[in-house]
């Protein structure tokens, strides 16, 4: 089945036709990257004080360094593209930008994989011969094909390897395309650190990142410089009392023998320990048969509760009849009964004699303990009984549940079931006296629900039994929160106190009297990367005390000045900072740096990566050129010279000059780099890092630079996850792309284009392959168009660029610059692509269509240059290529963002009006041609219209005018809000002028309301802000041509009849079509072999040379330019057409039709004549035309 799933998914990843366009982009990219590399364009140092550069603003961005246990994938790429686009834009804005990139190797996974591979080679030989089935799996049925893994070339697909089939690390390595010889060295963790970081840098360079690669490094003690930096940070934190030691409740993996932090988990990221009160209910003599051998021992049913304050109301306890329980011995010799899962957690919390070992006394099932009599703490009943409840879950608590029917809807429902159903009691051997005498005890008064809230709410919702799951969930929602915040205790000792004030006190009272203990378990299931279910353990640990009040306050202070780009990210930060408590920063297994004061401990991966951005500022000087810092960088400093005093001097402004062999000049250079670049102006990351890494990032900055808020983070941009083709990315389904695969498939700029288009919100974004392909096509088409313009620049219009369409195009370009800049500033790259490419190109396409006089050369090249700059942050390679095509000698990477000229909004709107009118008239022309249904219900076509009259209104008809005045009054009175339609209708129907129009009035109001939402208050203006008639007149040639009409005239509505006046209002012209009669003649082209043919054409009254040639152009699409066509008439209209034309002497016996001549027709006689300068000439039935 697995391979089937893989096949399906691969089918879904789109099949593509040829790749010529992608290959073309890739060739450009390779050349451009080589050029950038040679020019060291992205290497940048702190500006020298007093230099020209020192006056420019700086911009320092970082991306959480990715973990080096494999190739980078599209998810990484999506997040880091936000950094990349931002740097591209800020460079254009004239900032000095630094984008460094480190590689993270700290933590467990690399070591775990290496060790696993080592074990496999020891167990199964080389190349390993794996057993065909693991023991714990069911044996296959006869027809099941067993995959043989040890074929010499037995490579599975990566997808199959990552799924359930690849149990072995060896197979996973094979799936990466590695040969047997290549896999062996991976059994040593150090080898991973040489192998994957180099590939990461190679892949990222192919992406064309604007990264200063001199500053790259890997983490762990393999890199002596970084190791020294991390130890310096930790010594400082310990001195400032941020790091403490002691026993802490921690999520722990028994299999790994150490704490399991977020990054070490397969599932349950972000899940923490949940505290319960474990209530001890003593089993009273006589013991049930199953426990009779334990006479004389204290046996307790232990129930985990989150509501210790309700224990006063216990009427029984619940056990699930078919659940497995165990009895085990605790430290003082007593016996506890719970589930195995809960006992395992307890054994790591000091309950049992040996840590992590459960001393089993016996295994039980629920039936064995049903009906036992118990003594329970706080309740007013001396004896209660264990009763059956069928809905207890095994994955939470201890499997034994307290019962407080006064305040817990589940409990009252289950108790009522037992009271009402004798058969149910008999089924489980429960006698009447165990159930019937027990009534709910009033213990808490809740406003609105009285002192028995659970029975009350169950009656309100008509809950019938414990199986009404949905209603019970609603009942709990109603009473639990209200009970906690507003409930008041009714019991002695706590009377009149609020529940939330006494909860802890009541818990403590039971603990002090030995009737309860604290018990912890993970709040949801957590599985470690070693496939172990985690527990909560009490461990000796070094921990960062993130719960400490003052530190928390400072971190909150840092958040108040942090730019988060959206409210949701800020709320996530606030929630995280509120609940963050201790974070264990030490491990015993994995890779990393050791704690400087206790070197049996390793510093874990979330803790060595909180202020490393500071290390970027100087990394190139200490270890430039080597990722692992094994050689000294340009300053020749050795790792051992980097003492605590030296680090202090570099990073802490007030630190004294250290005693050291390092020259003062070098020290000052290091200090200057840090002081110049810090703080981080922008950090971009996935939103899942907010509760851990990004919160620690704030905490550690305020701890290291407490008095210097200028060093604190400035902005954090958190994005959602990236979907691929609307599905979750997953190696097991094959819906997965690595960075290098994406570049191979879509080219760098094609991939970057699709990443920008994928989305920017905290919601999930979507990389769609078909969109990526469509983007590639658009980019390719654009380059081709640019080349065409450069080749034909001579034929473009020159002179003054002042026509209506020139002015509109210029304004639209300026508006595009302004909007796109705003989107880039807000890091909304999808919107930047929309306004800076899609809409920008659409403005050019519109200009090309409407500018009948031809496009203006200056505007075309201004457009190309601006478009190149607007798209440069997203598709830099292609844009750089176009920049060189434009003859620019300096790299686009040194160019500046275009300055926007004035934006004439009114002009832009008048152009929109023109396009809408053309669209509207086109639709009406279509309707005009369909006259109605013929005999058989088939629509009859009428003739194509030849003429059109467009009527424009300066004012609204009186009834609309009055309606608008009323709406405007309300709009101004109530700050831009309109009352509801009922109110408006009430007011309007009393106005005498509107009496006979009431049917039309409310639809008109509805239309105005809708337009008001779209276009703002100008919808209520009584006149348009531009002159409709002159806009139409300036574009009359475009309108006539695009509508394929002979003639359009434009009139004011006031000159027309009532019907037109009623139909017409400002911005909504009315049009009337007609088909003028004509007399047909032949148009003949005598030129040999040129593809232009003879054709029949209608000549209409008032035609001239121009209208005839334009009409001809509609019939013959091969003619592109009016000015290249010459119209001729015969000198002898009757004889001329009968003579054979002579090659090369096509004009003999003919005369050109002059520009001033006009045609007249006699419909009755079907004849045509022409008047020119007052002379009347017959034309006959044929004219000639020549195309040059």
Contact 649, 674 (CB under 8 A): no
Burial of 556 (0-12, 13-18, 19+ CB in 10 A): middle
Predicted local distance difference test score (pLDDT) of residue 938: 56
Q: State the SS3 of 970-982.
A: HHHHCCCCCCCHH
How far from the centroid of its chain's Cα atoms is residue 542's Cα? 37
Predicted local distance difference test score (pLDDT) of residue 1154: 87
- Alpha-carbon distance of 303 to 306, in angstroms, equals 10
**Beta-strand relationship, 299-305 and 335-338:** parallel
Contact 754, 719 (CB under 8 A): no
For residue 1079, the SS3 value is strand
CB atoms within 10 A of CB 159: 24
CB atoms within 10 A of CB 63: 22
Helices (H) and strands (E) in the chain, counts: 37, 40
Tokens at residue 575, please?
A: 């929630």
Predicted local distance difference test score (pLDDT) of residue 1099: 87
Contact 349, 419 (CB under 8 A): no
Tokens at residue 752, please?
A: 């970057």
- Alpha-carbon distance of 917 to 911, in angstroms, equals 10
Contact 875, 783 (CB under 8 A): no
Predicted local distance difference test score (pLDDT) of residue 529: 80
- Alpha-carbon distance of 658 to 230, in angstroms, equals 19
- Cα torsion 577, 580, 585, 589 to 10°: value is -120
Tokens at residue 983, please?
A: 């109110």
Q: Dihedral of CA 1055/1059/1065/1067: which sign?
A: negative
770: left (phi over 0), alpha (psi -120 to 50) or beta: alpha
How far from the centroid of its chain's Cα atoms is residue 1156's Cα? 64
Q: Which residues pair with 280 in a beta bridge?
A: 302
Predicted local distance difference test score (pLDDT) of residue 138: 38
- Alpha-carbon distance of 695 to 552, in angstroms, equals 10
Radius of gyration for the alpha carbons in the chain, expressed in angstroms and rounded: 41
For residue 501, the SS3 value is helix
CB atoms within 10 A of CB 889: 6
CB atoms within 10 A of CB 890: 8
Predicted local distance difference test score (pLDDT) of residue 144: 36
- Cα torsion 341, 345, 350, 352 to 10°: value is 20
Q: Phi and psi of 1024, rounded to 5°?
A: -75, 155
Alpha-carbon distances of 340 from 260, 298, 345, 357, 539, rounded to whole Å = 21, 19, 9, 11, 21
Q: Which of 834, 828, 818 is nearest to 565 (CA)?
A: 828
Predicted local distance difference test score (pLDDT) of residue 937: 56
- Cα torsion 1136, 1137, 1139, 1143 to 10°: value is 100
- Alpha-carbon distance of 511 to 735, in angstroms, equals 53
Alpha helices of 799-941 — where are they, by DSSP H?
Answer: 804-825, 829-833, 839-850, 857-871, 876-885, 905-929
pLDDT means over runs of 10, the chain (1188 residues): 32 58 92 94 92 92 92 91 96 96 90 86 87 48 34 34 57 87 92 93 95 94 94 95 88 87 73 90 90 88 93 93 94 93 93 91 92 91 92 90 92 91 89 90 89 88 86 85 82 86 88 93 88 89 90 94 91 87 80 90 90 95 88 91 95 93 94 94 91 93 93 93 86 85 94 92 85 92 95 90 90 96 95 96 92 90 96 96 95 94 86 87 80 56 78 78 77 75 74 73 76 71 74 82 82 78 79 83 81 82 84 77 83 78 74 88 87 86 86
Contact 158, 2 (CB under 8 A): no
Place of tokens 């006056």: 55
């Amino acid at each position: 089945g697995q391979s089937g799933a893989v096949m399906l998914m691969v089918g879904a990843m789109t099949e593509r036709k040829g790749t010529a366009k992608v290959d073309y982009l890739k060739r450009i990219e390779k050349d451009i990257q080589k050029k950038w590399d040679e020019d060291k364009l992205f290497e940048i140092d702190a500006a020298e004080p007093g230099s020209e550069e020192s006056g420019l603003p700086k911009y320092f961005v970082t991306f959480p360094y990715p973990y080096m246990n494999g190739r980078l994938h599209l998810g990484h790429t999506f997040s880091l593209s936000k950094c990349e686009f931002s740097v591209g834009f800020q460079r254009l804005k004239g900032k000095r930008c630094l984008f460094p990139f480190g590689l993270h190797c700290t933590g467990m996974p690399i070591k775990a994989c290496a060790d696993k591979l080592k074990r496999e080679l020891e167990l199964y030989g080389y190349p390993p011969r794996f057993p065909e089935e693991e023991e714990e799996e069911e044996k296959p049925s006869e027809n099941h094909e067993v995959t043989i893994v040890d074929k010499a070339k037995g490579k599975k697909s990566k997808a199959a390897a990552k799924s359930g089939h690849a149990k072995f690390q060896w197979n996973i390595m094979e799936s990466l395309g590695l040969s047997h010889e290549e896999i062996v060295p991976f059994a040593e963790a150090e080898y991973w650190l040489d192998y994957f970081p180099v590939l990461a840098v190679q892949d990222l360079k192919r992406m064309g990142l604007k990264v200063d690669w001199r500053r790259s490094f890997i983490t762990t003690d393999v890199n002596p410089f970084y190791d020294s930096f991390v130890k310096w940070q930790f010594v400082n934190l310990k001195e400032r009392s941020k790091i403490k030691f002691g026993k802490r409740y921690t999520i722990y993996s028994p299999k790994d023998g150490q704490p399991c932090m977020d990054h070490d988990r397969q599932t349950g990221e972000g899940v923490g320990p949940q505290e319960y009160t474990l209530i001890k209910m003593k089993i009273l003599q006589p013991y049930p048969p199953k426990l009779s051998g334990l006479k004389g021992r204290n046996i307790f049913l232990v129930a985990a509760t989150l509501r210790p304050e309700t224990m006063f109301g216990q009427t029984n306890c619940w056990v699930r009849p078919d659940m497995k329980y165990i009895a085990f011995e605790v430290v003082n010799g007593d016996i506890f009964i719970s589930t195995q899962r809960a006992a395992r957690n307890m054994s790591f919390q000091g309950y049992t004699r040996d840590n992590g070992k459960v001393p089993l006394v016996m295994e039980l099932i629920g039936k064995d303990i049903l009906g036992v009599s118990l003594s329970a703490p706080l309740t007013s009943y001396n004896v209660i009984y264990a009763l059956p409840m069928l809905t207890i879950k095994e994955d939470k608590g201890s499997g034994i549940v307290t019962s407080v029917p006064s305040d817990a809807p589940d409990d009252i429902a289950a108790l009522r079931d037992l009271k009402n159903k004798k058969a149910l009691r008999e089924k489980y051997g429960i006698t009447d006296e165990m159930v019937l005498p027990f009534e709910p005890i009033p213990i808490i008064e809740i406003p609105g629900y009285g002192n028995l809230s659970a029975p009350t709410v169950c009656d309100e919702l008509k809950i019938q039994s414990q199986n009404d799951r949905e209603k019970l969930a609603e009942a709990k929602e109603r009473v639990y929160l209200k009970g906690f915040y507003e409930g008041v205790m009714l019991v002695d000792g706590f009377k009149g106190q609020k529940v939330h004030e006494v909860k802890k006190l009541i818990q403590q009272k039971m603990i002090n009297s030995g009737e309860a203990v604290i018990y912890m378990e993970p709040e949801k299931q957590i599985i470690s990367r070693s496939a172990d279910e985690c527990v909560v353990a009490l461990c000796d640990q070094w921990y960062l005390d993130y719960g400490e009040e003052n530190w928390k306050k400072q971190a909150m202070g840092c958040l108040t000045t942090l730019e988060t780009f959206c409210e949701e990210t800020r709320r996530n930060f606030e929630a995280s900072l509120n609940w963050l408590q201790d974070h264990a920063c030490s491990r015993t297994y994995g890779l990393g740096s050791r704690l400087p004061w206790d070197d049996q401990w390793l510093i874990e991966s979330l803790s060595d990566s909180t202020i490393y951005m500071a290390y970027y500022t100087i990394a190139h000087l200490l270890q430039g050129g080597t990722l692992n810092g094994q050689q000294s960088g340009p300053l020749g400093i050795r790792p051992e010279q980097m003492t605590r005093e030296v680090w202090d001097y570099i990073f802490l402004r007030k630190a004294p000059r250290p005693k050291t062999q390092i020259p003062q000049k070098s020290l000052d250079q290091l200090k200057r780099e840090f002081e110049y670049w810090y703080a981080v102006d922008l950090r971009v990351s996935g939103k899942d890092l907010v509760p851990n890494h990004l919160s620690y990032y704030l905490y550690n900055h305020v701890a290291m630079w407490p008095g210097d808020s200028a060093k604190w983070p400035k902005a954090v941009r958190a994005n959602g996850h990236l979907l691929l083709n609307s599905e979750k990315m997953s190696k097991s389904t094959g819906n997965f792309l690595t960075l290098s695969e994406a570049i191979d498939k879509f080219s760098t700029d094609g991939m970057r284009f699709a990443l920008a288009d994928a989305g920017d919100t905290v919601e999930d974004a979507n990389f769609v392959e078909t969109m990526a392909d469509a983007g590639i096509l658009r980019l390719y088409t654009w380059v081709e168009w640019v080349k065409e313009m450069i080749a034909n620049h001579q034929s473009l219009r020159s002179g003054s660029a002042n026509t209506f369409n020139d002015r509109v195009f210029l304004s639209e370009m300026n508006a595009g610059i302004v909007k796109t800049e705003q989107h880039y500033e807000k890091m909304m790259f999808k919107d930047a692509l929309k306004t800076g490419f899609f809409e920008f190109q659409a403005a050019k396409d519109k200009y090309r269509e409407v500018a009948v006089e031809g496009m203006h050369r200056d505007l075309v090249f201004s457009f190309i240059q601006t478009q190149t700059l607007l798209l440069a942050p997203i598709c830099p390679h292609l844009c750089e290529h176009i920049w060189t095509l434009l003859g620019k000698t300096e790299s686009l990477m040194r160019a500046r963002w275009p300055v926007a000229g004035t934006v004439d909004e009114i002009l832009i709107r008048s152009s929109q009006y023109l396009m809408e009118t053309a669209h509207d008239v086109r639709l009406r022309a279509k309707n005009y041609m369909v006259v109605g249904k013929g005999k058989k219900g088939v629509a009859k076509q009428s003739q194509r219209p030849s003429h059109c009259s467009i009527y424009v209104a300066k004012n609204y008809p009186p009834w609309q005018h009055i309606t608008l005045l009323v709406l405007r009054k309300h709009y101004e009175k109530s700050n831009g809000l309109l009352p509801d339609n009922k109110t408006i209708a009430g007011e309007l129907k009393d106005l005498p002028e509107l009496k006979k129009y009431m049917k039309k009035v409310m639809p008109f109001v509805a239309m105005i309301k809708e337009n008001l939402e779209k276009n703002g208050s100008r919808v209520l203006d009584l006149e348009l802000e531009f002159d409709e008639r002159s806009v139409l007149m300036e574009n009359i040639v475009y309108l006539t041509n695009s509508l394929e009409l002979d003639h359009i005239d434009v009139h004011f509505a006031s000159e027309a009849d009532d019907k037109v006046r009623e139909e017409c209002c400002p911005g909504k012209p009315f049009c009337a079509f007609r088909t003028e009669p004509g007399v047909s003649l032949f148009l003949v082209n005598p030129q040999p072999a040129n593809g232009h043919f003879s054709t029949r054409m209608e000549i209409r009254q008032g035609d001239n040379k121009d209208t005839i040639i334009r009409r001809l152009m509609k019939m013959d699409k091969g003619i592109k330019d009016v000015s290249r066509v010459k119209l001729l008439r015969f000198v002898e209209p009757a004889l001329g057409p009968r003579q054979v034309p002579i090659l090369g002497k096509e004009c003999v016996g003919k005369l050109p039709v002059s520009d001033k001549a006009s045609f007249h027709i006699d419909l009755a006689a079907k004849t045509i004549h022409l008047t020119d300068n007052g002379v009347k000439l017959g034309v006959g039935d044929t004219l000639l035309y020549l195309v040059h």
